[in-house]
Amino acid sequence: MTMDLINKLMNVVAPPMALVALFLLVPPLYLYKLLLSFLYSLFPEDLTHKVVLITGASSGIGEQLAYEYAKKGAALVLVARREGSLQEVAERARDLGLPDVLVIPADVAKPEDCQRFVGAVIAHFGRRKWSTNIVDHLVNNAGIANVCLFDEAPDVTKFTPVMDVNFWGSVYPTHYALSHLKKTKGRIVVNSSASGWLPLPRQSFYNVSNLKHSFLRFNVGITIATPSFIESEMTKGKFLTKDGRMEINQELRDYAAECARCMVEAARRGERRVTVPAWFRVLHLWWVFAPEVFDWCFRVLYDVNFWGSVYPTHFALPHLEITRGRIVGVASFASYMF
């Protein structure tokens, strides 16, 4: 009975109080953040000889992050499963910056691998007499996505790699590197994706896996990057279908290099969050204040455009293969927005 009265009172009092508080607090808060951003822009972090550990560095955004950090003079540790691709990235990074680039093949979904590569970083860079820095930036970038509706999945256990890589693949490296980051007052950079706050259709598991909000209180900075669709293996090869198979999607998205540049600059300025492209933040307002409109737009875009192309193509494809025919797709501007 008491709780009912309290809830009824709060239903009346809380909304206007919250609006008044927002009206009073938001302007000075944004002014403070603007001044702070201006100061950090004048005096960004010098990354020369800093040790930067990047996961998922063999391609896409991770590869471009390696090049951006190399240009700033950082010593690199590149982690991914494909050693051949890592070696190629390492060679190009050495041409851009320091020769000190460490390549470690590992799977971030396995805690023993994460413990191993953090230990290898400590062993390698701990020998440097001219610097006590061991790990300055940890960039949790590795990730994969799925493309199907939740109720289309015949076996949800096939999507465990999405959570293993996107979620635990950030938790494990952070856990093992945190004590060293505390010593250097370093920074954790998380490539979280805009889907963490803007759920995308047909990516239920991916959306959940990117809700990586941090509550660190260890004098360790954190920069959470929320890029929209970026040209990388996330959009050019590493999608899980509803059957758990990897399939290729070659659609052009925003440039991974520009995303990487924005992420590194945001980390140097000490920003907590960065969205690439910046205009994508406008969609957050629609999602908060008009979710029904947003849901309707997504339903129209994905159900009509997506299935209106998939069904005819599926049934016609065997005959097109016989005749060596051609598929002509007419894309709308919306395909580049979402």
Which residues have a catalytic role annotated? 206
Name 139's bridge partners. Answer: 54, 189
DSSP code per residue over 100-124: -EEEEE--TTSHHHHHHHHHHHHHH
**b/e map of 291-302 (b: 16 or more CB within 10 Å)?**
eeebeebbeebb
**Residue 273 backbone phi and psi in degrees, to 5:** -140, 145
**Cα(149)–Cα(152) distance, rounded to whole angstroms?**
5
The DSSP code sequence of 130-174 is T---S-SEEEE----EE-B-GGG-S-GGGGHHHHHHHTHHHHHHH
In this structure, are residues 39 and 65 in contact, taking their beta carbons and an 8 Å threshold?
Answer: no
**In b/e form, how buried is each residue of 170-198, taking b as 16+ CB within 10 angstroms?**
bebbbebbbebbeebebbbbbbbbbbbbb
Q: What are phi and psi of 7, to 5 degrees?
A: -65, -40
Distance, CA of 233 to chain centre? 12
Strand 101-105 with 51-55, pairing:
unpaired
Whether residue 117 contacts residue 207, with contact meaning beta carbons closer than 8 Å, is answered with: no
CA 160 from chain center: how many Å? 18
Please report where in the chains the tokens 């007499």 appear, as a residue. Answer: 129
Q: Are 283 and 228 in contact (CB under 8 A)?
A: no
Q: Which of 103, 125, 143 is nearest to 229 (CA)?
A: 143
Sign of the torsion formed by the C-alpha atoms of 234, 236, 237 and 240: positive
